Amino acid sequence: MPNITYVHPDGARETIDVPVGTSVMRGAILNNVDGIVAECGGEMMCATCHVYVEEAQLPLTPAQSDDEKSMLEFTASERKPTSRLSCQLVVTPEMDGLVVHLPETQV
Amino acid sequence: MGEPVVAIVGAGQGGFQAASSLRQEGFGGRVLLFGDEPGLPYQRPPLSKSYLAGDSGRDELWLRPEEFYRKQQIELVTGAPVAAIDRRGRCLRLANGDEIGFDRLVLATGARNRPLPVPGADLDGVLGLRTLADTDLLRQRLDNARDAVVIGAGFIGLEFAAVAGAAGAAVHIVELTPHPMGRVVSPAVSQFYAEAHRGWGSELLLGTGVARILGDNGRVTGVETGDGRLLPADFVLVCIGVVPNTELAAEAGLAVDNGIVIDEFLATSEPAISAIGDCANFPTRFAPVRVRLESVQNAVDQARGVAANIAGKPAPYDKVPWFWSDQGDLKLQIAGLAISCDRHVVRGDPESRSFSVFCYRGGRLVAVESVHRPADHIAARRLLMGDPRLSPDEAADESFDLRAHAARKPG
pLDDT tens, position by position, B39-84:
999 999 999 888 988 888 888 899 999 999 999 999 999 988 999 9
Chain A partners within 8 Å of B68 (Cβ):
32
Chain A partners within 8 Å of B60 (Cβ):
26, 41-42
pLDDT digits (tens, 9 = 90+) for B295-317: 999 999 999 999 999 999 999 99
Chain B partners within 8 Å of A74 (Cβ):
378, 381-382
Chain-centroid distance, C-alpha B135: 16
A59: Cβ contacts below 8 Å, ≥ 6 apart:
none
Q: What is the pLDDT of residue B169?
A: 95
Spatial CA neighbour of B211 closest among B254, B151, B160: B151
Say whether pLDDT at A43 is over 90.
no
The answer to whether B333 contacts A45, with C-beta atoms less than 8 Å apart, is: yes
Contact B288, B237 (CB under 8 A): no
Q: What is the pLDDT of residue B145?
A: 87
Give the separation between CA B273 and CA B239, rounded to whole angstroms: 31
Spatial CA neighbour of B260 closest among B154, B90, B89, B105: B105
A25: enclosing H helix or E strand = helix A24-30
Contact B14, B300 (CB under 8 A): yes
Give the separation between CA B30 and CA B102, rounded to whole angstroms: 9
Secondary structure tally for chain A: helices H, strands E = 2, 5
Chain A partners within 8 Å of B375 (Cβ):
66, 70, 73
Distance from CA of B351 to the nearest CA of A (A): 20
The shortest CB-CB distance from A39 to any of B62, B300, B382 is to B300
* Confidence tier at B1 by pLDDT (50, 70, 90): low
Spatial CA neighbour of B305 closest among B71, B108, B32, B31: B108
More confidently predicted of A67 and A54: A54
pLDDT digits (tens, 9 = 90+) for B209-257: 999 999 999 999 999 999 999 999 999 999 999 999 999 999 999 999 9
ipTM above 0.95, yes or no: no
Q: What is the pLDDT of residue B295?
A: 96
The shortest CB-CB distance from A41 to any of B43, B67, B333 is to B43
The answer to whether B46 contacts A41, with C-beta atoms less than 8 Å apart, is: yes
Q: What is the pLDDT of residue B80?
A: 81
Count of Cβ atoms closer than 10 Å to residue B119 Cβ? 14
Chain B partners within 8 Å of A90 (Cβ):
none
The answer to whether A107 contacts B378, with C-beta atoms less than 8 Å apart, is: no
The answer to whether A70 contacts B296, with C-beta atoms less than 8 Å apart, is: no
**How would DSSP label each residue in B131-171?**
SHHHHHHHHHHHHH-SEEEEE--SHHHHHHHHHHHHTT-EE
Q: What is the pLDDT of residue B197?
A: 98
Q: Which residues pair with B356 in a beta bridge?
A: B347, B370
Q: Which amino acid is at B131?
A: T
Closest chain A CA to residue B404: A73
Chain B partners within 8 Å of A41 (Cβ):
43, 45-46, 60, 296
The answer to whether B377 contacts A30, with C-beta atoms less than 8 Å apart, is: no
Estimate the crossing angle of helix B296-310 against helix B13-24, to 10 degrees. Answer: 40
pLDDT digits (tens, 9 = 90+) for B8-37: 999 999 999 999 999 999 999 999 999 999
The answer to whether B71 contacts A107, with C-beta atoms less than 8 Å apart, is: no
Distance from CA of B59 to the nearest CA of A (A): 9
Q: Give the mutation candidate from A30, A104, A106 for the B interface (greatest B CB count, under 10 A).
A: A30
Task: Tell me phi and psi for residue B375, to 5 degrees.
Answer: -65, -40
**How would DSSP label each residue in B218-281?**
TEEEEEEETTS-EEE-SEEEE---EEE--HHHHHTT--BSSSEE--TTSB-SSTTEEE-GGGEE
As a whole-number percent, the residues of chain B with pLDDT over 90 amount to 91
Q: Give the mutation candidate from A72, A73, A74, A106 for the B interface (greatest B CB count, under 10 A).
A: A73
Spatial CA neighbour of B295 closest among B182, B180, B155: B155
The answer to whether B43 contacts A44, with C-beta atoms less than 8 Å apart, is: no
Give the separation between CA B144 and CA B47, rounded to whole angstroms: 19
**B69 inside 8 A of chain A by CB:** no
Spatial CA neighbour of A53 closest among A28, A12, A81: A81
As a whole-number percent, the residues of chain B with pLDDT over 70 amount to 99
DSSP, res B350: G
Give the separation between CA B255 and CA B262, rounded to whole angstroms: 8
Contact B90, B99 (CB under 8 A): no
Give the separation between CA B391 and CA B335, rounded to whole angstroms: 17
The answer to whether B378 contacts A44, with C-beta atoms less than 8 Å apart, is: no
Say whether pLDDT at B411 is over 50.
no
DSSP, res B58: G
What three-state secondary structure class fits A38? coil
The shortest CB-CB distance from B60 to any of A26, A39, A107 is to A26
CA distances from A1 to A17, A21, B318, B403 (A): 6, 10, 44, 41
Say whether pLDDT at A32 is over 90.
no
B150: Cβ contacts below 8 Å, ≥ 6 apart:
B157, B158, B160, B161, B164, B171, B172, B173, B174, B236, B237, B239
User: B283's torsion region: left (phi>0), alpha (psi -120 to 50) or beta?
Assistant: beta
Q: Which residues pair with B124 in a beta bridge?
A: B219
Chain B partners within 8 Å of A42 (Cβ):
60
Number of inter-chain CB pairs under 8 A, A vs B: 52
> Using beta carbons and an 8 Å cutoff, which residues of A are at the interface with B?
26, 29-32, 39-46, 66-67, 70-71, 73-74, 107
Provide the Cα torsion B394, B396, B398, B399; round to 10°: -30
Q: pTM score, two decimals?
A: 0.94
Closest chain B CA to residue A65: B374
Q: What is the pLDDT of residue B410?
A: 57
Ranges A25-34, B49-58, B168-177, B372-381, most confident? B168-177
The answer to whether A39 contacts B296, with C-beta atoms less than 8 Å apart, is: yes
Q: Are strands B219-225 and B210-216 parallel, antiparallel or unpaired?
A: antiparallel
**How would DSSP label each residue in B73-123?**
TEEEEES--EEEEETTTTEEEETTS-EEE-SEEEE---EEEPPP-STTTTS
**B403 inside 8 A of chain A by CB:** yes
| Angle subtended at Cα B239 by Cα B238 and Cα B243, rounded to the nearest 5 degrees | 115
Contact B139, B55 (CB under 8 A): no
